[in-house]
Structure 1
Amino acid sequence: MSHSERAPLRVAAYCRVSTDKEDQLNSLAAQRRFFQEYIAGHPAWAFAGIFADEGLSGTSVKRRPQFAELVQRAMAGGIDLILTKEVSRFARNTVDALQITRQLKGRGVGVLFLNDNIDTRENDGEFRLTIMASVAQEESRKVSERTRWGQLQAMKRGVAFGNNSLYGYTLSGGRLTIQPEQAEVVRAVYRKFLTERKGSHIIARELTESGVRPPLRSGGAWSSAMVLRLLKNEKYCGDLLQKKYRTTDHLTHRKIVNDGAEEQFCLRDHHEAIVSRSQFQAVQEELARRSRLTADRNRFSARYWYSGKIRCGACGRSLTLKRTRRPDGTEYRRFVCRGRLEGSGGCQMRAVRAEELFACTQYVLERLALDRRAMLEELLGAWRAWRQPDGTPEKIRQALRRQGARRERAVEAFLDGDLDRAAMHRAISRCEGEMQRLEAELAQWERSSVTEDEAEIRARLERELEDGDAFLDEAVQRVTVYPEDLLVEVAELPVRFRVRAEGRGTGAEYTVAVRACLSEPRERE
């Protein structure tokens, strides 16, 4: 084939502007016209398209969809030559520029940088590109530093930055303005958490069931994490904390939590508050208190906490914890009826995954914690009944028997390998300390009929209910397993809770959601 009969060179162009402001978009339109005319002015070229990214950074190719499409089409054989004005439009990252041009050259595709007079098809093309790409990368760093400095000064002046996704406010021109309908939802969340003593999971469920639209880009349902973000964000009390996140470098633009590496700025009373400062502070204190309670729960080995308390609803025997190691190294834990372990002729009750048991029990405890005041009154009522001379000693004896049984369970858990020696000694010491107190109390009752003042009893019960260790150790008395649900019984309460949960996923991705929790009268023992 003669030169005149060769197929035309398929030429495409790439252009980019770094912002989506009007003047920049006008510049983009001008770039398009320039490349169309430039390609049309070469008879041996065939127009293969113009690819343009608007309002995107050039430091990384990952966030430029049109650029990625251009490279993909060229690598597939649809383009012979790519035009761009300068290296900084193509890539401000030296590594990216060299890697991509090498890949394209390997497929016979050249890149022509018009303003820089670099053609990667020529012998010195890569050498000259390396120099210009390095210059572009350094310029990008300087621009990034100037931009960060400018943002920092704006932050000090109180200009709010963000993408207008803060629930309850609209962000315009660096100013936060209350969005009334969403602000009412925020106030309701604070009221539910602080006054009604509800947890984030329950609040999220109630908002979803009420048809309240969640924050943008979050689907159709509220989550616990969304509720917690509302409760922890200082903006709702009128303050503005700047520099919560920082950018790791100007090439990746990846943001991470600012853990003190860069200075933060907190502007008090920066904008109109949705909740009062006292409400916000009270919520932070309550969050910290509940966090301590969770930490207290975790200090107890789950294996010991439930040891001897889980019963089979079919045969009445206890369930034991079994562990299986998966191929990926994760552990699969389930509680199995001891009767079922006897073989094919044993009990046929289902095994319960540890995640289901823990989720159902903690759900009940959280529900009780919501109405801790009512629980206090219930215990006080029980105390008033016990204070009669003919009833109280027997109640103390029952408590002594419970502590003795708890001590025996600790020993049993140690012998089964579910509890280490140190934890066993701590549990026994705790039980024996309580037994000594009860024995002294019983002796006092037997010597005289003098009783404690009710105000002192109330204060002691309040302290015990606030004590995470004592509350958890005492709270769950029994969990009975049935084919469809679990029956959770809490010490000293006249009701018990029938809880149904649903698990989804496999392996480490397995999650449990409580679907129903109904209370029913507790049978007298």
Structure 2
Amino acid sequence: MKKITKIDGNKGTSIIKPKLRVAAYCRVSTDSDEQLVSLEAQKSHYETYIKANPEWEYVGLYYDEGISGTKKENRSELLRMLSDCESKKIDLIITKSISRFARNTTDCLEMVRKLLDLGIYIYFEKENINTQSMESELMLSILSGLAESESISISENNKWAVQRRFQNGTFKISYPPFGYDNIDGQMVVNPEQAEIVKYIFAEVLSGKGTQKVADDLNQMGIPTKRGARWTATTIRGILKNEKYTGDAILQKTYTDSRFNKRTNYGEKNKYLIENHHEAIISHEVFEAVEAALNQRAKEKGIEKRNDKYQNRYSFSGKIICSECGSTFKRRIHSSGTRKYVAWCCSKHLKQITECSMQFIRDEDIKTAFVTMINKLIFGRKLILQPLLDALRGMSNSDNLSRIQELEKQIEKNAEQRELLVKLMAKGYLEPALFNRENNELQMEADNYMGQKEALIHALNGELSKVQEVSNLIKFTNKAEMINTFSEQIFNDYVEKIIVFSRVEIGFVLKCGITLRERM
């Protein structure tokens, strides 16, 4: 008879399953006392909740205070958590709801997909959604879309409340400009900073430029309100701020439907409150400075709300350094008693060690342009006509046939999705299978649309270049050799100038070619 003996396993050597590293994320939209109390309650809840699970290891709590959830770039703690996820420090994230995590559908789905690729899951308590067990992103997409709509609704309600405070004069300026402090919701003069404000206005009235005033303040070691260095832009901001006269114009900026901050040029109502607070500068001084700035701008050809150099010089904003990518600035140089115009790399001017590109003379650029245009006029048949033929070849049958093929695939995909919906409505498909198949078809459709848009963009770009070459050919066919620089011809056909060295530059034409010239 067979003898069987049971050999017990060694329980002491069993594999211990590692604990799941769990973090929590919470956020409040404002920094009011009530919201901060809510934040403390959330922090306490998650710490207790995670530590109570024996299979979980508490690895930290990430929280943002007084930050809007509409854009993830505005939340430093969220970004830090995502960075820790990439460093493999977290396995699971717990958060209260989709709206607390993100009120922007694109951001929400982007972050979920990124974390899934890293093998990290998110549990949304309110919606009871765990991305580890989700069959598809459809429900998350719908819910995050609702959260975004809720955010827009809340934003509109907040805007309405702010508008009411604008209208009845009860709006409080939470962060007053340099020269003022916020004490119990009121703007109160800061004596030390007020003296600097008076100094700025007096210096500009005496004839100094904004950059010179900024340089002087930096040399004196006086910081801005945020502790940074002074710039010409900062000085201009102070000189144009009516709050230094004791008045306050409200709603000088607004937030658009995509949550981007815009300057209000009349799109929204503005509200002027006179004698809102104690003045630092009289109205007379403020208006005198404004008149001086407007006069200097007029002399330099600067137009409000337009590109700073739009009406100043042909080359402004168009000369690019090949070494560092910075634009060139116009300067006046002297050689003995003779003065001449030169163009200098802005980075080289600021820090010579960061860019070695030296200045080039304005007259040399113009001479090189004249030479380049004359070469085009002389050799138009050798240069421009072959280019036109090549561009026409690139922009015809291949791209058009591919676009037509994609349109057929997009139409077929739409039919498949329509059939899927009908099968689901009749009960022939399980919801999980429907979601999976529908998502795959949607991703396929998005891919086709992306390819189609890219081809159309490329085709339009090539057609635009064809038109530019045609225009240039028409000009060179009729034009005679030029002897002097023509601003009109330059603006018509040149997109930018690339400086390769002090003796060689390249004219990038609007038709897409770059012609090099030695100076």
Taking structure 1 as the reference length, the TM-score comes to: 0.55
User: 1:285/1:160 Cα in 2 relative to 1: closer, same or farther (>3 Å)?
Assistant: farther
Aligned counterparts of 2:230 and 2:343: Cα–Cα separation in 1: 35
Instruction: Check the 8 A contact 2:22/2:60 in 1, yes or no.
Output: yes
Q: Provide structure 2 residue ranges, at least 5 long, that are not aligned to the other structure.
A: 1-10, 303-308, 317-331, 346-356, 365-480, 490-497, 501-519
Aligned counterparts of 2:487 and 2:50: Cα–Cα separation in 1: 78
Aligned counterparts of 1:123 and 1:149: Cα–Cα separation in 2: 39
Aligned counterparts of 1:51 and 1:322: Cα–Cα separation in 2: 50
Aligned counterparts of 1:415 and 1:107: Cα–Cα separation in 2: 63
Shift of 1:29: 2.4
AA at the equivalent of 1:417: T
Counterpart of 1:213?
Answer: 222
Shift of 1:80: 2.1
AA at the equivalent of 1:271: H
Shift of 1:91: 1.2
Q: Which residue of the other structure, out of 272, 279, 282, is the alignment partner of 2:278?
A: 272
Structure 1 residues 192-231: Cα deviation after superposition (integer angstroms, max 9, x where no partner): 333x33333343344444x362422353x54333332222
Instruction: Check the 8 A contact 1:241/1:264 in 2, yes or no.
Output: yes
SS at match of 1:82: strand
Instruction: Check the 8 A contact 1:14/1:51 in 2, yes or no.
Output: yes
Counterpart of 2:484?
Answer: 417
Counterpart of 1:154?
Answer: 165
Aligned counterparts of 2:184 and 2:266: Cα–Cα separation in 1: 28
Q: Which residue of the other structure, out of 339, 351, 361, is the alignment partner of 1:334?
A: 361
Q: Which residue of the other structure, out of 283, 286, 301, is the alignment partner of 2:289?
A: 283
Instruction: Check the 8 A contact 2:342/2:359 in 1, yes or no.
Output: no
Within-5 A mapping of 1:92-111? 92-111=103-122
Shift of 1:126: 2.7
Instruction: Check the 8 A contact 1:61/1:91 in 2, yes or no.
Output: yes
Aligned counterparts of 1:271 and 1:142: Cα–Cα separation in 2: 33
Aligned counterparts of 2:212 and 2:341: Cα–Cα separation in 1: 31
AA at the equivalent of 2:160: W
Shift of 1:111: 1.3
Taking structure 2 as the reference length, the TM-score comes to: 0.55
User: 1:126/1:214 Cα in 2 relative to 1: closer, same or farther (>3 Å)?
Assistant: same
Instruction: Check the 8 A contact 2:173/2:187 in 1, yes or no.
Output: no
Shift of 1:128: 2.6
Shift of 1:421: 11
Structure 1 residue 295 corresponds to structure 2 residue 304: no
Counterpart of 1:179?
Answer: 190
Within-5 A mapping of 1:34-183? 34-124=45-135, 126-159=137-170, 162=173, 164-183=175-194
Shift of 1:299: 6.1
Shift of 1:143: 0.8
Aligned counterparts of 2:342 and 2:100: Cα–Cα separation in 1: 62
Instruction: Check the 8 A contact 2:73/2:79 in 1, yes or no.
Output: yes
Shift of 1:274: 1.6
Counterpart of 1:224?
Answer: 232
Aligned counterparts of 2:103 and 2:289: Cα–Cα separation in 1: 46
Q: How many residues align?
A: 332
User: 1:317/1:28 Cα in 2 relative to 1: closer, same or farther (>3 Å)?
Assistant: closer
Indicate the structure (1 or 2) with the bigger Cα radius of gyration.
Answer: 1
Aligned counterparts of 2:132 and 2:209: Cα–Cα separation in 1: 65
Instruction: Check the 8 A contact 1:332/1:507 in 2, yes or no.
Output: no
User: 1:12/1:258 Cα in 2 relative to 1: closer, same or farther (>3 Å)?
Assistant: same
Shift of 1:283: 1.9
Aligned counterparts of 2:137 and 2:343: Cα–Cα separation in 1: 63
User: 1:239/1:42 Cα in 2 relative to 1: closer, same or farther (>3 Å)?
Assistant: same
Counterpart of 1:235?
Answer: 243
AA at the equivalent of 2:275: D
Aligned counterparts of 1:190 and 1:235: Cα–Cα separation in 2: 14
User: 1:178/1:123 Cα in 2 relative to 1: closer, same or farther (>3 Å)?
Assistant: closer
Aligned counterparts of 2:341 and 2:243: Cα–Cα separation in 1: 49
Structure 1 residues 213-269: Cα deviation after superposition (integer angstroms, max 9, x where no partner): 2422353x54333332222211122221111111123x5x32121121111112223
Aligned counterparts of 1:187 and 1:246: Cα–Cα separation in 2: 29
Structure 1 residue 201 corresponds to structure 2 residue 211: yes
Aligned counterparts of 2:264 and 2:131: Cα–Cα separation in 1: 42
Within-5 A mapping of 1:12-51? 12-51=23-62
AA at the equivalent of 1:66: E
Aligned counterparts of 1:322 and 1:185: Cα–Cα separation in 2: 34
Instruction: Check the 8 A contact 2:64/2:77 in 1, yes or no.
Output: yes
Counterpart of 1:9?
Answer: 20
AA at the equivalent of 2:226: R
Structure 1 residue 246 corresponds to structure 2 residue 257: no
Shift of 1:169: 1.6
Instruction: Check the 8 A contact 2:176/2:187 in 1, yes or no.
Output: no
Shift of 1:180: 2.1
Shift of 1:159: 4.3
Shift of 1:8: 2.3
Q: Provide structure 1 residue ranges, at least 5 long, that are not aligned to the other structure.
A: 304-308, 325-329, 338-413, 423-505, 509-525
Q: CA RMSD in A?
A: 4.0
AA at the equivalent of 1:216: K
Aligned counterparts of 2:142 and 2:14: Cα–Cα separation in 1: 35
User: 1:28/1:118 Cα in 2 relative to 1: closer, same or farther (>3 Å)?
Assistant: same
Aligned counterparts of 2:158 and 2:109: Cα–Cα separation in 1: 26
Instruction: Check the 8 A contact 1:88/1:136 in 2, yes or no.
Output: yes
